[in-house]
Chain A
Amino acid sequence: MAVAAIHTAGLSKDYGLGRGLFELDLQVAQQEVFGFLGPNGAGKSTTIRLLMGLIKPTGGSAHIFGLDCIRDYVAVKKKVGYVPGEMPQFGGLRGSEVVAYFGGMRGGADVRFVRMLAERFNLDLSRRYREYSSGNKQKLGIVLAFMHRPQLLILDEPTSGLDPLIQQEFYALLNEAREDGATVFLSSHILSEVERACDRVGIVRAGRLVRIADLEELHSIRFHHVEIEFAAGARIPTDAIKAAAGVEEVVVDDHRVACTVKGSFEPLLHAIRDAKVANLVSHEPSLEEIFLEYYRESRRALPS
């Protein structure tokens, strides 16, 4: 059996006052894309820093490809590409110099691959780092993480600051890396992002791993807030909306209807098919709302 790309057992980092990460047991298989989902301050970056050997655990252990993340931290880094949660300052260095600096430090960077990545992300490497927008800084971070084609990519909210088109490009790059044999550990606080990119998702809250879910389970607990605005004077099919499968918490206000939709949108769209709809907006719920929904579902599942 192949060694796990990431294996943690009881991994903890206690900062006191209930802050930190507690008893994390996690296994990520090779070539898996694993999403690490949680709100801000949940412990995602702490987990990543522990895996990168940047901070010492107060309990438990972490291994990457069988190597101890603390004891063998140099050997671990040979296998890892890393996007930090926030890019540092490089002042007046040009993008090309930052890449050369870290390429020289790490070794094994493929210059042609870097050029391809920069072109793909439309990142002008001749500009000075301080002239970069936050999105361009993030692109440079992605180039630095991918440039040596690592076996494991540890990415801390890698799409923050990227525009939607570049995000699509990033997801495509992630898929290509996986096809080439790489494993990905991606932290995010955006449900749709991990849904789109990952095979499995670990949900972390208040420093504890709440659940490891596959995509199917994730779909089952997700829902949307929907607001429908009907044309003035149009008939509102309130009863049909309330009766539609998966539609809950229906509130009618004048010619507007607000509701939540679990699962497929099909029943709701069928219910309003004959009405004159002026506008329809769907919002993704916050992670806190998903957690509440998750706990509600768990309680319902318990035998009375």
Chain B
Amino acid sequence: MVAYLFALRQGRWGIAGFGAIAFLITLLNAAGFYQVAGHTTAEREAFARSIDVLAAQFSVIVPPPMRPDTAGGYVQFRAYGALAIAFAIWALASASAAARGDEERGIVQAVLAAGISRLAFVASRAGAFAIAATVAALAGSAGVLVGVASGGESISPAAALEAGLVLVALALCCYSLTLLIAQFTGARSATPVAAAVLLALFLVNSLSRTFDWLVAWRRLSPFHYFEQSSPLVPGEAIDVGATLVLLAIAVAASALAAIAFRYRDIGSPLFSLPTPSRPASYEVSRALAWRIPVVRELYEQRVGLLVWTVGLATLGAIFVVLTKAIVEPLLTIPGLARYFSAFVHGDVYPSFLGLIWLSFTQLLMAGFAVTRVARWSAQDSDGRLELILSSPVSRAGVVIERVVVLAVEALIIVSVSGVSVWTESHSQSIDLDRGRLVAAMLLLVPFTLVFGVIGALLASRVPRATVGLLGILVFASYLITQLGPIFKLPTWVQDMSAFKLFGQPLTTGVDQTGLVIMVVIVVAGLVASAMVMERRDIGA
């Protein structure tokens, strides 16, 4: 029992965060349906046709919608499609932390030393995650009921609970598979290997909608069984058999993980090759980079920076291809103009690139800022900042160096991404304005720094809560721009979002006011965080 409570306590922020996300996503999609779909049968049928066409372009990623003319069908498609991915990521992070991360931190050793068996340990972690996922899924079900009620309609509570149950089954399945995979990998590679496997399972299912030769393989994918149930869609129900398959995989994978854990050494995978011995070295690294401020931080984070740079550049090229493929069929549907009129201004291709790629890149760059702020916060809590400040460097200097490093990293990432998009758009015959593309890319640097300096200020003030608070800020800021036009939020509310300050530089050029506000925020935030850093206690 103590082990369960301890595991639940470990995951309390996950429960709160994903519970809030599930509630908001279902609530906003359900409530948003009534804003965008219209109220008459004709309006909703037109809306459904638009969604069907739009979804067909994304069938590589998401399953086709069922009855998108109803709130239930729309929420099943929009909200639960996204929640499946979100809960899978949560399961991945939780399971790899439980299996190997806590081992690195010595928590597993302490728990086992308290007389808890390895089997009980695995059971407690899986059980605690099941409770956590259930709580978060119930929040999602509540969001559906409240959102639909806001439109003056109703939906069966049983259907909402069934949608949550299927989500829990999928999350448990992903959790258990990650637990199992983590028994066979090194501690550091558990998350990426499990992520690669889950991604492959996701793609096997989603690509099977396009490639027939994958149809036979999709039965291997938990996402296939998840998609068999659409309880929110009128006339549809939970697929009990498919859900039981998910739960059976979860139980079997957990049991196998427990057995593997029983037989492996703590700190090692179940099978490992002996490492060759080599003579000790007492030499200091002679790399020049370590001696140069800013460069030393870039050098230390070079692998992560490379991954972000290549990832965003690749994503940019993919989005350009997708834009062409999506926009051409959409242009043939007059009814869609109404749906997109809230977003699209000016030339259609740059507008769609701005809408799809640039807004997603904004979100990723904000996420990048959060990862860097998380690093600053970790340096504070693990004592590295204390050791840095035992050198003759000023506290303000530390803050400035961090922000400059973030600016340089952002510049590198967006520059390569911009080149990638420019090259691919040329090959796709999309006429992008080079000046505007360059401006849009450069504008992403102050945009990233806005979150960076707010994070720096939070890290100087409340280091342990920094990542959570900044994540909430990014999420809220993003939601305002996504939902502001739909819910017709007041302009001043929308203007508070950094995403809004960024504007639409690909179509309308740089928003000078937004740029000035972002620069003011960056400068003021930098000065404030340097001042707070000078005054605060370190490591206390």
Chain A interface (Cβ within 8 Å of chain B)?
A: 15, 49, 52-56, 73-75, 77-78, 80, 82, 84, 86-90, 92-94, 96-97, 99-107, 109, 111, 114-115, 118-119, 122-126, 130, 144
Contacts and interface: CB of A to CB of B under 8 A. Distances in A.
B384 A103 contact: no
Interface stretch (B22-30, B385-393, B524-532): B385-393
B281 A125 contact: yes
Given A75-B392, A88-B382, A101-B290, A119 B296 contact: no
Contact of A54 (B285, B291, B389, B394): B389
Nearest to B385: A88
Contacts of B384: 88-90
A106 B300 CA distance: 17
Given A97-B285, A106-B391, A55 B383 contact: no
A209 B300 CA distance: 43
A203 to B, nearest CB: 24
A80 B389 CA distance: 11
Nearest to B295: A104
A105 to B, nearest CB: 5
A44 to B, nearest CB: 14
B482 interface: no
B280 A100 contact: no
B390 A115 contact: no
B284 A96 contact: yes
A77 B300 contact: no
Given A55-B539, A88-B387, A102-B391, 13 more contacts: A49-B537, A55-B538, A74-B392, A82-B387, A86-B383, A96-B283, A99-B284, A100-B285, A102-B388, A109-B284, A123-B282, A124-B281, A144-B387
A104 B292 contact: yes
B228 interface: no
Contact of A74 (B291, B387, B394): B394
B208 interface: no
B537 A105 contact: no
B386 A88 contact: yes
B405 to A, nearest CB: 14
Contacts of A122: 280
8 contacts: A49-B538, A55-B537, A77-B391, A88-B379, A88-B386, A90-B384, A99-B284, A125-B283
Nearest to B540: A55
Interface string B501-518: 000000000000000000
Nearest to A105: B391
Given A54-B389, A54-B539, A94-B285, A101 B296 contact: yes
A126 B293 CA distance: 23
Contact of B392 (A77, A100, A126): A77
Interface residues of B, number: 36
Contact of B284 (A49, A93, A103): A103
Interface of B: 104, 188, 278, 280-287, 290-293, 296, 300, 378-379, 382-384, 386-394, 535, 537-540
Contact of B291 (A97, A104, A118): A104
Contacts of B391: 77, 102, 105-106
A119 B188 CA distance: 29
Contact of A115 (B278, B284, B383): B284
Contacts of A77: 389-393
A63 B236 CA distance: 76
With a 10 A CB-CB cut-off, give which of A80, A99, A105, A125 has the most chain B CB atoms: A105
Contacts of B104: 130
Contacts of B287: 97, 100
A49 B539 contact: yes
Contacts of B388: 102, 105
A53 B538 CA distance: 9
A96 B300 CA distance: 13
Nearest to B537: A55
B383 A88 contact: yes
Given A104-B292, A104-B296, A106-B392, A54 B282 contact: no
A104 B290 contact: yes
A174 B292 CA distance: 31
CB-based closest 8 A-B pairs: A88-B383, A104-B291, A124-B280, A126-B281, A118-B282, A100-B290, A88-B384, A82-B390
Given A86-B383, A89-B384, A105 B393 contact: yes
B537 A54 contact: yes
Contacts of B379: 88
B441 to A, nearest CB: 30
B160 to A, nearest CB: 44
